[in-house]
Amino acid sequence: MQTGPRPQRPVIGIESSCDETACAILARDGVILAELVLSQQADHAPFGGVVPEIAARAHLAHLPGLVQQCMERAGLDFGDLGGVAASCGPGLIGGLIVGAGVAKGLALGAGVPFVAVNHLEAHALTARLPGLVAGGAPFPYLLLLLSGGHCQCVAVEGVGCYRRLGGTIDDAVGEAFDKVGKLLGLPWPGGPALEQLAAEGNPARHPFPQPLRGRAGCDFSFSGLKTAVAQRIASLPSPLPKQEAADIAAGFQRAVAEVLADRAGHAMAMMPEAQLLVVAGGVAANGTVRAALSGAAAARGVALAAPPVRLCTDNAVMVAWAGIERLRLGLADALDVAPRPRWPLAELSAG
């Protein structure tokens, strides 16, 4: 696009791919100048999941004001920006359209480059934020992306250069957490509530199956595990006693963690040159999962990098940083680029 680069000026990032409206401003060295996140959890909780139309309307109502607040917190005028980045996929198309539209307007008005960020690439590059990994996170490294919509293992070979090593053949791991949480009568989203309940349970009391564990490759499957939990709950008295529910939650969580550790081990064997395993996405906030992956990485002499919990879930810091990484390579996008509900990492190109 025909805009002049401003290499030393900060970049604003916008995230609206699902149910969180977020904005962040980063200096080019990765220092966070301002960050705001507006959760829509209360809006969607009565429905037990994200309602796309509600999400899009909330983004439309709140994003412009959030951007203005973020600029004020950073002490900047729009003319001080050096670039604008926004999640443009994958995600819920309504929210993506809102975020991309606001971002394009900012870029056009300020006369700066616009970067259409792949949301998955933003997760992939989070580990490269200065200070998150001791000594930095040079390429290549392994990414285990764990969220409600994605579960995949990716070789990260450079900005825009990704090789998918394996992924789920049915449910994403975050989806499994939410569905099991619902079976246990927990509030949505189920992941955090299930982890809290599991802390009171005995994981050995209900030994659940661990699909694909020990199988070659690093694909994942959680549908059978979810079904096994449903069948176990159906076989017990209703309402389920709290201790029984806690034991089931703990058993499920252990099964997931051990499957993820096994699959990560296979991925590390497939990419022995990688000395870093990065775990990202909402499920990366789970302490039991982190501990299991840490053990798997240590067993192979590989370091584990897990972002702070607030940077595991959807956030605009990672979007702004992905924009900075791409702008450093001279990569910007035309203002007519269209948001994409599906956008595999493999389709990205640094060329």
Residue 2, in any domain of the structure: no
Residue 3, in any domain of the structure: no
Tokens of 325: 């990484």
The secondary structure of the chain in percent helix, strand, coil, rounded to multiples of 5, reads 45, 20, 35
Say if residues 186 and 235 touch (Cβ distance below 8 Å).
no
Neighbouring-strand partners of residue 87? 117
Residue 47, in any domain of the structure: yes
Query: Do 302 and 153 have their domain in common?
Result: yes
Q: Nearest 10 degrees: CA dihedral of 147, 153, 159, 160? A: -90
Give me the tens of pLDDT residue by residue for the chain, a chain 351 residues long.
Answer: 334 445 589 999 999 999 999 999 999 999 999 999 998 888 998 998 899 999 999 999 999 999 999 999 999 999 999 999 999 999 999 999 999 999 999 999 999 999 999 999 999 999 999 999 888 899 999 999 998 788 999 999 999 999 999 999 999 999 999 999 999 999 988 899 999 999 999 999 999 999 999 999 999 999 999 999 999 999 999 999 999 999 999 999 999 999 999 999 999 999 999 999 999 988 999 999 999 999 999 999 999 998 888 888 889 999 999 999 999 999 999 999 999 999 998 888 544
Query: Do 15 and 95 have their domain in common?
Result: yes
Q: How far is CA 186 from the centre of its chain?
A: 22
The total domain count for the chain is 2
Instruction: Kindly report whether the global pTM for this prediction surpasses the value 0.85.
Output: yes
Query: Do 170 and 211 have their domain in common?
Result: yes
Residue 322 — φ and ψ, nearest 5°?
Answer: -60, -40
Residue 86 has a pLDDT of 98
Query: Do 182 and 286 have their domain in common?
Result: yes
| Domain assignment of residue 51, given as a range | 11-126+312-347
Tokens of 308: 């702070």
Residue 4, in any domain of the structure: no
